[in-house]
Structure 1
Amino acid sequence: MSKISLLAVFIVSIITLECSQASVGGYFSENDAKKFTDILNNGLKQQEDVTNYYHAARGLSLLKKPIDVALSKNACSFLQKSFKEGTPEATFKVLNAWILLKCGGKLHNEAQVKNIKAVLEDKASSTESVRYALEVLATIGESVPNAGKIAKNIQDKLREDDSLPSLGHALHAGVLLGNEGKFVADRIQEIVVQADEIDGKLLQWEGGLTTTSLIITGLMRNSAAGQHLNQKQVDKLANYLLSRKTVPSPKGVWALLEAAEALNSYALFPVCITIDGEPFVTAEKPDLKIRVSNLFGGAVRSKTSVTPVVAQSATRISDDVVVLSKQSLNPGTTQTEFILPLKLTPGHYRIQLTAGSNTQSVESRVLGPIAVQSLEIGLMDADGSSAPKLNKLQHPQKLTSILQGDSSQHLVVKFTLSRSVHQAFIRLSSQNKEIIFVGEEEAGKLYKVEINLGNELSQSGDFDIELILGDSLATNSIRWNLGVISVSLPSASLSAKTARGPKPEINHLFRVADKRPAEVVSLLFTALTLSPILLLLILWARIGVNMGNFSVLAVPFHLGFGGILALFTLFWLKLNMFTTCAWLIPIGGFTLFFGHKLLSSIASGKKPEKADK
């Protein structure tokens, strides 16, 4: 019998999980709406692209923001002056901007209507052009001529181009064609399966926000979409839209808001469950405010679909202990507000919320005060030969006398807190100097700081002792002046501790040079080195110098060669390698060029002589 009961509980749990749907963890806040409004108002000020007037006016209407009268008047004047025959898309957006801006009067003429109908009859017209041509006729209240033929042309065009933008425009066109456009329902499944899922949380179509918005608005207009698009997919589409809140252009804001409005109006609309306001509570104000709303932060269409709102569980993140289970939330002051009292110990908590069939996990903090339950401070010998002498203090008392310490002692501070904290410090300060010591938790919220005065301090003097406590979960922080300690350090210790400052200058001592030989020996070896030159001069005097074959080309060659020898001499005496190489390149090039010329002239002079032989 017990096994059957456990099985039944397991089955019920599985059914509950399957029936619940994840909600959307965000919405377009007031700050987002303000940013969008500024972008859209800037779109009304520019006069570069007339379609931006539609994007701006339509976006402001979706946000339910009024349009500035002066901006509206200037935009109407510009539209009337600059509106000419253009693409069906431009015509649709200009005509709708004229209506949204409440310009008054009639902007289009019969010739423009005739051209729009010609687009519908032209088999070469793209799916986008056909869609916007149908939108123009719907805007001005004209009937669609020959809807069956137009539907056939769209189907033929989709066989040529079945890209996502083409399919998206076909969705809109199919709705505008009424019964003749029902063929588009057969393509919805194909469109849905092409959506890309990101991290299991977002859903989009290739092409970014513009393409995704086009397809979302097309699907939401088509009643058959409900057979292929489920609640989880709608929520993931909503999460994608929320991730694109940073769009900077009027067109981007318009595409974002159009898609969000379409999802809100869909039968399976997304439900946003978020924390409203600060994500923390205190013992004095334990009520955590939860917002259950649509994408624009307003009340959902059917309150019964999001009630009751229940905190299924609250888990302390530090140790995964469930501290709350199945607690109903109380209604707040507005339709979107619900109150969850969190009378828990300070900590970080993960709360699983359900609103009807929608679920969402949020994280919150419970804050509380820090209290010092006991504190002892005193001195002990560094070798531990005697028991420490500790004084007990109660916050915010101070020591009645100055502690007298030296280099052979340790300063000991022990304190017990009401709960563990992230930051516990002991600060010793004297004039403009301070040293911070971290308090480590030993056990049972007991902290201890032990400071070796001889090793940690660099000079004698009086030091203020402060206890500093802080924590991210604390509603208060503590900075408690415990008293003063007078430390006396020996002079040797003082001189040793001055090593904390600048290091003494190091003078490098080079090796003493070896003793040089006598001057006579140096002159002898110099003469031996120059002896080949003397021998050359003697031989020239005896044999003679043949100047008969001397060529003019030999002069620059010998000058270059002599320059190289002179450069090597200077390198030996004073130049460095880099300067020598810099001079050697031009001199060597000069010598090589004239050396080649000289050898060529010598070789050409010997060729006829060989021929005579």
Structure 2
Amino acid sequence: MMAGGGVRFLVLILVVAICGAASVFQPISDSHRSAALDVFVPVDGSYKSLEEAYEALKTLEILGIEKKSDLSSATCEYVVKVLGSSSSTLKDAFYALNVNGILKCKIGEAGPKDIVSQLQAGVKDAKLLLDFYYSVRGLVLVKEQFPGTDISLGDAEAIFRSIKALSQSDGRWRYSSNNPESSTFAAGLAYETLAGVISLAPSELDPSLIQTLKKGIVKLFDSIQKFDDGTFYFDEKSVDASQGPISTTASVIRGLTSFAASESTGLNLPGDKIVGLAKFFLGVGIPGDAKDFFNQIDALACLEDNKFSVPLILSLPSTVISLTKKEPLKVKVSTVLGSKAPALSVKLTQALSSKSVDSSVINNQELKFDADSATYFLDSFPKNFDVGKYTFVFEILLDDSAHEKVYITEAQTKVPIAATGVISIENAEIAVLDSDIGSVESQKKLDLTKDGAVSLSANHLQKLRLSFQLTTPIGNAFKPHQAFFKLKHESQVEHIYLVKTSGKKAELVLDFLGLVEKLYYLSGKYEIQLTIGDASMENSLLSNIGHIELDLPERPEKAPRPPQQSTEPYSRYGPKAEISHIFRIPEKLPAKQLSLVFLGVIVLPFIGFLIGLTRLGVNIKSFPSSTGSAISALLFHGGIGAVLLLYVLFWLKLDLFTTLKALSLLGVFLLFVGHRTLSQLAAASNKLKSA
């Protein structure tokens, strides 16, 4: 009914690209819930294996998605079958118990007893880490699902030491004592297994063993990887390359949360790295692979419900603030799965402008809390807050004594913010100037917010000047990302010029005397168009100003001609003309009759060779009669025939290199069998002479 596990993908490059660029992290939302229904799709009402079934059901359970009854029924049938069979593998039994913990299948009384015996035997005979893992964790599941079942573990401390023997000095673990290489993924499995041993032990274990494990956890965190934005993750170094950073990090988190839940002395882990691990899983978005999807959601669920520290994530609905609409800055603080955060306060400590990182336009402002939307907001900005890019620095203040759980967050959360607004465009005018003295011959005022019908005329001895002023909502100078001036001739030839800004004023002066060659000496009507755009500018524009009639000199003979324009403006994006390649014309070959005559001349020596053999009286009376000698002679003559056949193939089909390779092999073969054949003939001749 179900086959082996699904395909796993290596996603390190993708994760590095996403997390390396991420700055704002959003908790799990409805987009994940929608995607889960597309990723975890059963085939014919069931999943391929119990492992896939557990990962799908666990993910749906964490996300609060209701499971289909027909799926639960079909899966439960297989669970009962596995738990009722004494021939089931430890892995199948382990995942069957995991699935049963979610679906609450109807297991008979004999089922737990049979499976307990199998798991206890697995612990006793285990040599590999995975065997310990499936057996011990399976017994933990039996203890949770079937209270009162006898699940005695035997000598728990001896089992603990057997598993501990697989640990390494760097905090990683081996899968077996025969394998010298260690694995970070295996470390997570080991800590989960040891947590199970602690919970199943009939009495408290030696405290020194627990302390040794804690030192190993500290060593393991020394090998953690980090991105520039404070994101942390674990990855494999050499062994088990099939495990990517998502599955490896999830394994470590599961192991640590299980270990922290099983021992009473507490586990003190660095808060910044726990938040960084949460940011890692939130930063990968929505994985398309089912295994990665499960690891992401399960790891975040472990982080949200653990005994050392629950990370809180600060997120913004939008990182764009409109000063025109006077939108308030909204901030939300929640757990990684989107649950409501405990009582806290949020402070905006700084808002740094990207133009000058030393200038802070906002300092130490407490955000107000809206209970209805569970968001914090800043509804007013200081007068010096202008359009542009900023880095907002937030602090979350927690009262640890008021919470049952230990919550952690970043000391400072930096968020890039873009402030937009309406840019004022004033004093816009266009003028034709005299080239010699710069006096204004004609000048027009412009309203760039709408298309105009300006009509100008000029000759090659004059200039054209365009000028305007750009100011921000609070009156500061504004320099746009794009400001282009375009002249378009009636023949569709276009010329684009950059409008430079200095302070509040933007100006462009075109000297037609120096541009006549670039304008291809084309007189006539030119349409005038101005483009101004910027990410912070809410009123970016593309304005058709009007036209200008240019009177330019006649084009000299050697002057460049204007490029040919297509009648269809978008034809440049269409398919290009097909490029046909003409091979070299074949050289003349001799006539067919001449080639046949030449072939006959080549064959004549071979015919002469055959005639010569008959004249010499060749016969096979001297062919060896003994078995060994006859075989050598046959192989020798066969080899000669193979060489002749190779020559024929070379003439008809083979190339020189292939022929030489085959000939070298046949030559070695002929050398061996020929020497043997001639030696046997010489020995027979000597015997004949002696007789």
Under a length normalisation based on structure 1, what TM-score does the superposition of the two structures give?
0.70
Q: Does 1:428 align with 2:487?
A: yes
Change (3 A) 1:443 1:495: farther
Which residue type is aligned with residue 416 of structure 1? Answer: Q
User: What is the alpha-carbon distance in structure 2 between the residues aligned to residue 60 and residue 324 of structure 1?
Assistant: 43
User: What is the alpha-carbon distance in structure 2 between the residues aligned to residue 294 and residue 263 of structure 1?
Assistant: 9
- On the 8 A contact 1:188/1:225 being kept in 2, the answer is no
Q: 1:134 aligns with which of 135, 139, 150?
A: 139
- On the 8 A contact 1:440/1:449 being kept in 2, the answer is no
Name the structure 2 match of 1:112: 115
Q: Does 1:337 align with 2:375?
A: yes
The alignment yields a C-alpha RMSD, in angstroms, of: 3.6
Cα offset, 1:61, TM superposition: 1.0
Which residue type is aligned with residue 198 of structure 1? Answer: Q
Task: Kindly provide the CA deviation profile for residues 113-161 of structure 1, in whole angstroms up to 9, marking residues without a partner as x.
Answer: 3222333444757431442232243132244554561232221332255
User: What is the alpha-carbon distance in structure 1 between the residues aligned to residue 122 and residue 163 of structure 2?
Assistant: 14
User: Which structure carries more helix by proportion?
Assistant: 1
Name the structure 1 match of 2:50: 50
- On the 8 A contact 1:393/1:399 being kept in 2, the answer is yes
Structure 2 regions of 5+ residues with no counterpart? 1-22, 174-186, 237-242, 399-408, 472-477, 566-604, 610-655, 661-691
- Aligned partner of residue 363 in structure 1, secondary structure: strand
Which residue type is aligned with residue 153 of structure 1? Answer: I
Q: Does 1:286 align with 2:316?
A: no
- Aligned partner of residue 431 in structure 2, secondary structure: strand
Task: Kindly provide the CA deviation profile for residues 484-514 of structure 1, in whole angstroms up to 9, marking residues without a partner as x.
Answer: 2111223225983525459xxxxxxxxxxxx
Name the structure 1 match of 2:498: 438
Which residue type is aligned with residue 361 of structure 2? Answer: V
Name the structure 1 match of 2:256: 216
Change (3 A) 1:88 1:151: farther
**Structure of larger gyration radius:** 1
User: What is the alpha-carbon distance in structure 1 between the residues aligned to residue 421 and residue 24 of structure 2?
Assistant: 30
Under a length normalisation based on structure 2, what TM-score does the superposition of the two structures give?
0.63
Name the structure 2 match of 1:149: 155
User: What is the alpha-carbon distance in structure 2 between the residues aligned to residue 472 and residue 91 of structure 1?
Assistant: 58
Change (3 A) 1:463 1:213: same
- On the 8 A contact 2:27/2:282 being kept in 1, the answer is yes
Which residue type is aligned with residue 60 of structure 1? Answer: L
Alignment of 1:230-379 (within 5 A): 230-266=270-306, 267-300=308-341, 302-303=342-343, 307-320=344-357, 321-332=359-370, 334=372, 336-341=374-379, 343=381, 344-356=385-397, 358=409, 359-379=412-432
Pairs aligned (count): 488
Task: Kindly provide the CA deviation profile for residues 242-265 of structure 1, in whole angstroms up to 9, marking residues without a partner as x.
Answer: 345554444433333232122112
User: What is the alpha-carbon distance in structure 2 between the residues aligned to residue 44 and residue 250 of structure 1?
Assistant: 18
Change (3 A) 1:118 1:372: same
Structure 1 regions of 5+ residues with no counterpart? 1-22, 503-551, 557-584, 590-613
Q: 2:210 aligns with which of 167, 185, 194?
A: 185
Overall identity of the aligned pairs, in %: 19
- On the 8 A contact 1:312/1:353 being kept in 2, the answer is yes
Task: Kindly provide the CA deviation profile for residues 83-108 of structure 1, in whole angstroms up to 9, marking residues without a partner as x.
Answer: 64423342132133134234445482
- On the 8 A contact 1:204/1:240 being kept in 2, the answer is no
Change (3 A) 1:157 1:371: closer
Which residue type is aligned with residue 101 of structure 1? Answer: L
- Aligned partner of residue 180 in structure 1, secondary structure: coil
Name the structure 2 match of 1:197: 224
- On the 8 A contact 2:116/2:151 being kept in 1, the answer is no
Which residue type is aligned with residue 95 of structure 1? Answer: L
Alignment of 1:508-547 (within 5 A): none
Which residue type is aligned with residue 157 of structure 2? Answer: A
Cα offset, 1:483, TM superposition: 2.1
Cα offset, 1:325, TM superposition: 0.7
Change (3 A) 1:494 1:43: farther
Change (3 A) 1:430 1:78: farther
Q: 1:169 aligns with which of 159, 173, 193?
A: 193
User: What is the alpha-carbon distance in structure 1 between the residues aligned to residue 158 and residue 252 of structure 2?
Assistant: 26
User: What is the alpha-carbon distance in structure 1 between the residues aligned to residue 302 and residue 134 of structure 2?
Assistant: 22
Cα offset, 1:43, TM superposition: 7.9
